């Protein structure tokens, strides 16, 4: 049945109960005045059982406890019609109303799955049904006179019922004795089941233990009421006995509802478990989280350790997980032939396959997230290392180009310039003025070319950076700037070449930005070491407002710094200048 249709049916049953319950309770006032407390208790018993059944049937549609609880509640209300002034209604109600307690026993025996699994449970259920069915047939036969319509010559229905029922009193006591014995047996089964259960199962059996105590106590009290107490002693306690038993039955209905629907709270714990398992935690934390989520303090987690080729328990010691069986339930996470995790838990949790599946799904999700995160971390490490290698290769290539320019083209031009100057001296004072002019011009061009190559080589990779370090290179950079640049160098050692090169080019780019785009009149540049990081701070008093999207070179700075795993922080407010803070990780000396 679909969810909307099921809820329509359950809603209709609930509406019927809302009307039928008070009407049935009203029937109790037909023959005698009843106190408001008794009437309220009567309505509460039927309504609590029906409400519990409706909620269980909606939340756990596959569980038979819901329909049985609904039927039990209506059976309770049917008993109120024994006081009806309609003969046939009174007859049928008298015959049927005794089914409340046997139905209640079936609900208890089938708790929490709704199925009678054990042989002793089925035997007790058959016993309750057989005794009640026999008593129903006896009543139906013995009380049949009150089923006929009244006639003017007949005595009243109540009088006929009283007379007929008095004849059944001995059999009624036997029926009560048999049901009392069955309820005591049921209580014994429940107590043994509760005592032998472990933590998770014991908490599940607590509501049904309470229900068994109430059921057995009710039958024992009724038997004592009928056989031990004198008639004169029953009257003062009659209504109190009914009210107390009714309240106990209401509490039992609530307890059964809480017990069967405990998965609703467990689902919340599973949701919390998913949050806590954001990434696979250490094994002790995982075990404690699962114990809390599933309510099973005996739960144990084992993790496969590939290095040692064995499973480890939460204490980190080699251990062998138990086998799945009656004494211990086991579920595995990972491939069937090569599980990553093994979770051993109380077998009672098998009664809630949805809860176990949700917990297993949460753990599988954590394991998969851990695997994916490990892959992503490995990929990020590979990308970071690749970017660092690219930057280092670029710096190496820059140094090679700088050496080639210095040792190749620059040396050739220097030799050419010297040759021209020597040729100019050899011509003497009587040389042709035009030839002298040509030689001087060629020598000047050679000098200019040498200057250009030196500037180019310095831009590619300054030789002073390789030879004298970052502080000297930054000082040289400041000397060539067209505006005042104050350099504060607090470095006391050389750093890896990739770190020095990155810091130098970041500083060069920052100075270029300040000179070309910020309109600054002063730049302060400072370097220092802290926490195995090189810190570079560049400040100017320009117009501010610099952003990476403006194409001012900040994007290139961020990319180059990120390649070494560093960080960049930019403060640039309009009219307040720009501050660039760079931190680059560097190896310890």
Q: Which residues pair with 242 in a beta bridge?
A: none
Does 166 share its domain with 44?
A: yes
DSSP state of 278: S
Q: How far apart are CA 351 and CA 411, in angstroms?
A: 89
Q: What φ, ψ does residue 367 adopt, rounded to 5°?
A: -65, -45
Instruction: Determine the pLDDT at residue 389.
Output: 66
Q: How many Å separate Cα 348 from the centre of its chain?
A: 23
- Please count the other Cβ atoms lying within 10 Å of the Cβ belonging to residue 9: 14
User: In this structure, what token pair is assigned to residue 218?
Assistant: 């009710």
Q: How far apart are CA 536 and CA 527, in angstroms?
A: 5
Instruction: Determine the pLDDT at residue 127.
Output: 92
CATH number of the domain within which 509 lies: 3.30.565.10
Residue 506 lies in a domain: yes
Tell the burial category of 230 from Cβ atoms under 10 Å away from its Cβ (0-12, 13-18, 19+): exposed
Does 294 share its domain with 249?
A: no
Q: How far apart are CA 256 and CA 309, in angstroms?
A: 47
Q: How far apart are CA 85 and CA 98, in angstroms?
A: 19
Q: How far apart are CA 316 and CA 305, in angstroms?
A: 10
Q: How far apart are CA 324 and CA 328, in angstroms?
A: 6
pLDDT in tens, the chain (589 residues): 677 888 888 889 989 988 888 888 888 777 667 778 888 888 888 898 899 889 888 877 777 888 988 998 898 888 888 777 777 777 788 888 788 888 888 888 887 777 887 888 889 999 989 998 998 888 887 776 665 544 444 444 555 555 666 666 777 778 878 888 888 888 888 888 777 766 556 666 777 777 777 767 776 776 666 666 555 555 555 567 677 777 777 877 887 777 666 656 666 666 666 666 665 677 787 788 787 777 778 888 888 887 778 888 888 888 888 888 877 888 888 776 677 788 888 776 776 666 777 777 777 777 777 777 777 777 777 776 666 666 666 666 666 666 656 666 667 677 777 777 777 777 777 667 777 777 777 777 777 776 666 656 555 557 777 778 888 888 888 888 888 989 998 888 888 888 888 888 888 888 888 888 888 888 999 999 988 899 999 999 888 877 765 555 777 788 778 878 888 888 888 888 888 999 999 864 4
Instruction: Determine the pLDDT at residue 181.
Output: 85
Q: How far apart are CA 324 and CA 331, in angstroms?
A: 8
Q: How far apart are CA 97 and CA 143, in angstroms?
A: 14
Does 347 share its domain with 245?
A: no
Does 255 share its domain with 294?
A: no
Residue 439 lies in a domain: no
Does 91 share its domain with 180?
A: yes
Q: How far apart are CA 212 and CA 195, in angstroms?
A: 14
Minimal CA–CA distance to 101: which of 188, 175, 17? 175
Range of the domain at 559: 467-585
Does 254 share its domain with 291?
A: no
Q: How many Å separate Cα 96 from the centre of its chain?
A: 50
- Cβ(345)–Cβ(296) below 8 Å: yes
Does 143 share its domain with 10?
A: yes
Give the number of domains in the chain. Answer: 3
Minimal CA–CA distance to 135: which of 178, 183, 104, 103? 178
Q: How far apart are CA 443 and CA 416, in angstroms?
A: 8
Instruction: Determine the pLDDT at residue 155.
Output: 41
Does 137 share its domain with 206?
A: yes
Residue 422 lies in a domain: no
Does 246 share its domain with 298?
A: no
* Full-model pTM: 0.53
**Could you give the angle at the alpha carbon of 489 between the alpha carbons of 486 and 495, nearest 5°?**
140
């Amino acid at each position: 049945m679909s969810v909307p249709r099921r809820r329509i049916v359950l809603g209709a049953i609930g509406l019927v109960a809302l009307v039928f319950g008070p009407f049935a309770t009203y029937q109790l006032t037909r023959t005698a005045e009843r106190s408001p407390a008794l009437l309220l208790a009567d309505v509460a018993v039927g309504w609590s059982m029906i409400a519990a059944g409706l909620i269980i049937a909606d939340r756990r549609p596959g569980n038979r406890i819901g329909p049985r609880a609904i039927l039990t509640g209506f059976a309770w209300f049917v008993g109120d019609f024994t006081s009806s002034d309609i003969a046939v209604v009174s007859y049928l109600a008298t015959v049927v109303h005794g089914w409340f307690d046997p139905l209640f026993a079936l609900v208890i025996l089938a708790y929490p799955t709704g199925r009678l699994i054990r042989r002793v449970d089925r035997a007790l259920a058959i016993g309750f049904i057989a005794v009640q069915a026999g008593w129903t047939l006896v009543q139906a036969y013995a009380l049949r006179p009150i089923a006929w319509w009244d006639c003017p010559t007949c005595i009243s229905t109540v009088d006929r019922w009283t007379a007929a029922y008095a004849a059944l009193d001995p059999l009624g006591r036997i029926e009560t004795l048999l049901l009392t014995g069955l309820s005591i047996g049921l209580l014994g089964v429940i107590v043994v089941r509760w005592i032998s259960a472990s933590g998770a199962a014991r908490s599940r059996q607590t509501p049904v233990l309470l229900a068994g105590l109430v059921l057995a106590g009710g039958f024992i009290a009724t038997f004592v009421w009928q056989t031990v107490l004198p008639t004169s002693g029953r009257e003062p306690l009659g209504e109190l006995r009914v009210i107390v038993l009714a309240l106990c039955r209401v509490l039992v209905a609530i307890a059964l509802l809480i017990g069967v629907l405990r998965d609703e709270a467990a689902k919340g714990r599973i949701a919390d478990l998913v949050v806590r398992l954001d990434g696979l935690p250490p094994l002790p934390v995982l075990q404690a989280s699962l114990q809390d989520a599933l309510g099973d303090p005996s739960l144990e987690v084992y993790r496969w350790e590939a290095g040692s080729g064995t499973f480890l328990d939460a204490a980190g010691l080699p251990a062998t997980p138990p086998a799945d069986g009656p004494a211990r339930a086991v579920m595995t996470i990972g491939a069937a032939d090569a599980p990553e995790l093994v979770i051993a838990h109380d077998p009672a949790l098998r009664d809630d396959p949805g809860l176990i599946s949700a917990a297993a799904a949460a753990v599988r999700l954590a394991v998969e997230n851990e695997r994916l995160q490990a892959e992503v971390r490995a990929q990020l490490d590979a990308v970071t290392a690749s970017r660092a290698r690219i930057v280092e290769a670029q710096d190496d290539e820059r140094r090679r180009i700088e050496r080639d320019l210095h040792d190749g083209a620059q040396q050739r031009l220097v030799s050419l310039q010297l040759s021209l100057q020597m040729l100019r001296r050899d011509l003497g004072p009587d040389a042709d003025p035009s030839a002298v002019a040509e030689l001087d011009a060629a020598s000047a061009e050679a000098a200019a070319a040498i200057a250009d190559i030196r500037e180019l080589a310095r831009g590619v990779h300054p030789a002073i950076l390789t030879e004298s370090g970052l502080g000297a290179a930054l000082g040289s950079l400041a000397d060539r700037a067209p505006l005042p640049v104050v350099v504060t160098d607090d470095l006391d050692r050389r750093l890896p070449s990739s770190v020095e090169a990155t810091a130098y080019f970041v500083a060069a780019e920052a100075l270029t930005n300040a000179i070309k785009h910020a309109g600054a009149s002063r730049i302060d540049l400072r370097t220092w070491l802290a926490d195995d990081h090189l810190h570079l701070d560049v400040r100017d008093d320009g117009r501010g407002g610099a952003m990476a999207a403006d194409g001012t070179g900040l994007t290139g700075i961020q990319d180059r710094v990120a390649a070494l795993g560093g960080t960049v922080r930019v403060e640039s407010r309009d009219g307040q200048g720009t501050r660039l803070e760079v931190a680059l990780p560097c190896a310890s000396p």
